[in-house]
Amino acid sequence: MADPINLNRFRKTKARKQAREDADRNAVLYGLPKAETARARAEAERIARLHEGGRREDGSPRDETGH
């Protein structure tokens, strides 16, 4: 038989993990100087345009065979 699980401990561990992930995400988003943020945003937009440029008129992606 499996050991019993302390649900309070599980819930608190999950909340700590989520808070740590949120803090890491915010450090990346808000921890950069304005110039680096603008450069990262421009790079993301450039990649999105390249990705969209590979789409067909009907919206379906191209495959390697050209079909």
Does this model's pTM top 0.75? My answer is no
Q: What is the pLDDT of residues 7-27, one digit of tens each?
A: 999 999 999 999 999 999 998
Q: Where are the domains of the chain?
A: 7-53
Q: What is the pLDDT of residues 31-57, one digit of tens each?
A: 878 898 899 999 999 999 998 887 777
To 5 degrees, how large is the angle CA 10–CA 25–CA 19? 25
Core vs surface per residue 15-25: b (16+ CB within 10 A) or e: eeeeeeeeeee
- 56: tokens are 């067909």
